[in-house]
Amino acid sequence: MAHKEVDIRRLVDRDIDAVVTIEQEVFGAEAWSRELVAEEIASPWSFYCGAFVDEALVGYGGIKGDLEKDLMTLGVLSQCQGLGIGRQILRTLVMEAAGADIFLEVRASNTVAIALYSSFGFYPIGKIKDYYRQPREDAVSMKLSKDNDRLSKT
């Protein structure tokens, strides 16, 4: 994909089908159902944003919680990976969560995602054995402290 302008905006109901398509490509057997995506986007405790290129959704992510936030998901279409889109989505989510600790789980083998999260100040706080099922794999739990100067290095 050639360099194009990326627009980041909050996801709404009309984006659900596009999110489900990305879910299926990125997460395969562990993709969320359409019903779960709709529930997450509609939840008053959630904030989901998407990256759009020429009006087409190419990536998305979401956080959920109140005093503490969980990074629920972050996915970018394979043909758009490596272009900084995931970083833009994560920056938006971190800004939205200002004043709260953020927690996440990531596949232990996903070194690209771990490096991205680490560049924002997330640090490992433990492992969860067999957290992922298809394929079976441990998760690394990570945290970004609310006291971290979140965006100074991104």
Residue 85 to residue 91: CA distance in whole angstroms: 10
Residues 11-38: tens digit of each pLDDT: 999 999 999 999 999 998 889 999 999 9
Whether the pLDDT of residue 138 is over 70: the answer is yes
Residue 94 lies in a domain: yes
Residue 64 lies in a domain: yes
Q: What is the pLDDT of residue 15?
A: 97
Task: Read off the pLDDT of each residue in 76-86 and give the average, rounded to a whole number.
Answer: 94
Task: Read off the pLDDT of each residue in 86-104 and give the average, rounded to a whole number.
Answer: 94
Tokens 């019903």 correspond to 35
Any idea what the CATH number is for the domain that residue 79 is in?
Answer: 3.40.630.30
Q: Please give the residue range of the domain that contains residue 117.
A: 7-144
Strands 68-76 and 123-133: unpaired
Report the share of the chain in percent with pLDDT over 90: 79
For 39-57, letters b (16+ CB in 10 Å) and e give ebbeeeebbbbbbbbeeeb
